Amino acid sequence: MNWRDHIHSDPGILGGKPVVRGTRISVELILEYFEDGGTVEDILAAYPHVTEADVRGAIAFARDLLHEEASAAQRRAA
């Protein structure tokens, strides 16, 4: 999955937070749904213009961000 097909950041939208393309639905909001015990189906029901691929893109974005942060921390520690 290439999250770049689904997620982008624009300084003019939500202050540059990463969002689902063509929406103001942030990756942060999607992750909060999961944190609160929600499911993909809950997100799709709440935001019918968001697709399952968009939700999976948000998760992939967060994973890659964490991976980059961990790699940077390892380089700083070395």
Q: What is the pLDDT of residues 16-66, one digit of tens each?
A: 999 999 999 999 999 999 999 999 999 999 999 999 999 999 999 999 999
Residue ranges making up the domain that contains 19: 3-77
Domain total of the chain:
1
How much is the pLDDT for 69? 81
Q: Can you give the CATH number for the domain in which 42 is found?
A: 1.10.10.10
Q: What is the DSSP letter of 21?
A: T
> 9-18 — which CB contacts under 8 Å span 24+ positions?
18/58, 18/61
CA distance 28 to 67: 17
Q: What is the DSSP letter of 26?
A: B
